[in-house]
Amino acid sequence: MNTLAAPDPLTTLYLNHHGWLQTWLRRRLGCAADAADLAQDAFMRLLLAPRQFNSTPETRGYLRTMANGLCIDLWRRRELEQAWLQTLACRPEAVEPSPEHRALVVETLLEISNMLSRLSQKAAAAFIMAQVDGLPYREIATQLEVSERMVKKYIAQAMLQCALIEAGQQG
């Protein structure tokens, strides 16, 4: 008896939609290699967190939304990398960091960017003013037009997000 087992749902999903998603990404990104990488990332995410879909439009809508988020992450990463490279270009060659150090810095900047995006605009601004500019809470409160106590709450929110990143929970 020679019976073939039916492919699992993820295999079917991949076979039916991978080419479409990769084409959609290639049009959006203008780069076949990036499109292939992000299409693969999208299906890897589905492998880690499987979903059931009831129709092709529902499936493609979900994949398009996920892929759009992956595009935004890619663009954000490249933007941060470019800013970091521009900063490095201004430094003398003798103090140029190794490629491993550069990658670590870019990854850290991405984590900080993601952390700040989870905060309210005022909380993110308070954190930056305190940590980057070194401003005292009183001055931050004046600039943000809030109480000093509110600045302390904003900083506490940001520090909680930092602790979650450190613990590997990513907020």
| Tens digit of each residue's pLDDT (9 = 90 or more) over 70-90 | 998 888 888 877 877 777 777
- Terminal Cα distance for the chain, rounded: 53
pLDDT at 165: 76
- What confidence score (pLDDT) does residue 95 get? 65
Residue 16 near residue 46, CB atoms below 8 Å: no
Q: What is the mean pLDDT of residues 97-113?
A: 80
Does the pLDDT value for residue 17 go beyond 70?
Answer: yes
pLDDT band at 7 (very low <50, low <70, confident <90, very high): confident
Residue 135 · residue 109 · CB < 8 Å: no
pLDDT at 54: 87
As a whole number, mean pLDDT of residues 127-154 equals 90
pLDDT at 37: 92
CA dihedral defined by 60, 66, 79, 27, rounded to 10 degrees?
-10
Does residue 107 surpass a pLDDT of 60?
yes
